Each structure stands twice: as C-alpha cells, then as structure tokens.
C-alpha cells in the first residue's frame, strides 16, 4: 500500500547531531524517524501512553534508512510519517525527511514493529483501537491485511 503522507512534524537539527564533516550523523536519522512515529501516534489519537496503559507495547524489529542529501545545523527538517501496513501483530511505518528551506529529499526509510504484551514482551495482536484510529486518520481499511 502506498499512501500519501498526511502527517509531518518539524525537527530542528541541533549542533551536537552533526559530525566532523559538518552534516547530521547517519545514526541521528533513526531518532528523527522515532520522533515522527511518536508524533504520528498522537496525531491519530492513539498515543504511546494509551498503548502502554492498555498493556500493549511495540518493539522495533527492523529499520532502514536511505540517505539522499546531507542535512546541516541549524536546518529544520520535516519528518513525513505514515502507517503503510498493519498485520495481525505487526506495523510498518514509512518516513520521508525533507529540508524545510529548499524542499530537498534528505532521507527516507521505514521502521517495522511488532506489538507485544507490555510486561512480558510476548506477541500480542495489534489493538483494535489502534487499527480503528489509523483507519480513520489515513482514510483506508487495514482489516484485510495479514502477517
């Protein structure tokens, strides 16, 4: 499924996120993805604290980032986030990071997560409330997807 990005959140590059080459260190982009994901959950009305309160947690099981152009301090980046897939116990979020100043593509990637019982980390189906919140926000049905 390839949906448009309905959600975006700004992230200002901090000086300590850059390396001796003067651009954002590659590992920082995973932090930017995590910011996008966390803010996305708030935007759909099913934030991480609600998930935890209901006894569910997420563990990241896969991540990928493709670096397209350097970002430098003090640029502002827009982290575009969407939910591409909901399976029985899995989620896949996609990200596109653009430079706010000139719109250039800085990075793109994804994070795959599995839902688990908060206290034991045993597998747990994706909460129905999460699925419904995502469907309303994205305007699509994830019900037919499996895995």
> pLDDT tens digits, residue range 22-46?
999 999 999 999 999 999 999 999 9
User: What's this model's pTM, rounded to 2 decimal places?
Assistant: 0.93
d(C-alpha 100, C-alpha 96), whole Å? 12
Q: Considering only the C-alpha atoms of the chain, give the largest distance between any 2 of them, rounded to a whole number of Å.
A: 48
CATH number of 7-138: 3.10.129.10
Assess whether pLDDT exceeds 60 at residue 146.
no
Domain ranges of the chain: 7-138
Q: How many residues does the chain have?
A: 147
> At residue 145, does pLDDT exceed 60?
no
Dist. CA 125–CA 101, nearest whole Å = 41
Q: What is the pLDDT of residue 143?
A: 72
Mean pLDDT value of segment 2-23: 93
b or e along 109-121 (b: 16 or more beta carbons within 10 Å of the residue's beta carbon)? bbbbbbbbebeee
Strands in 76-86's sheet, in edge-to-edge order, are: 7-12, 76-86, 90-99, 105-117, 56-67
**Pair of tokens at residue 56:** 């569910």
Average pLDDT over every residue of 107-113: 98
**Contact (Cβ atoms closer than 8 angstroms) between residue 80 and residue 33:** no
């Amino acid at each position: 499924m390839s949906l448009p990005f309905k959600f975006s959140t700004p992230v200002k590059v901090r000086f300590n996120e850059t390396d001796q080459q003067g651009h954002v260190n590659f590992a920082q982009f995973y932090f930017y993805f995590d910011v996008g994901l966390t803010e996305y959950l708030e935007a759909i009305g099913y934030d991480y604290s609600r998930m935890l309160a209901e006894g569910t947690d997420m563990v990241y099981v896969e991540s990928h980032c493709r670096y397209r152009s350097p970002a430098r301090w003090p640029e502002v980046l827009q982290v575009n986030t969407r939910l591409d897939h909901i399976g029985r116990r899995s989620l896949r979020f996609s990200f596109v990071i653009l430079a706010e100043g000139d719109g250039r593509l800085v990075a793109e990637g994804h994070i795959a997560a599995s839902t688990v019982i908060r206290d034991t980390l045993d597998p747990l189906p994706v909460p129905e409330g999460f699925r419904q919140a995502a469907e309303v926000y994205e305007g699509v049905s994830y019900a037919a997807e499996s895995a």
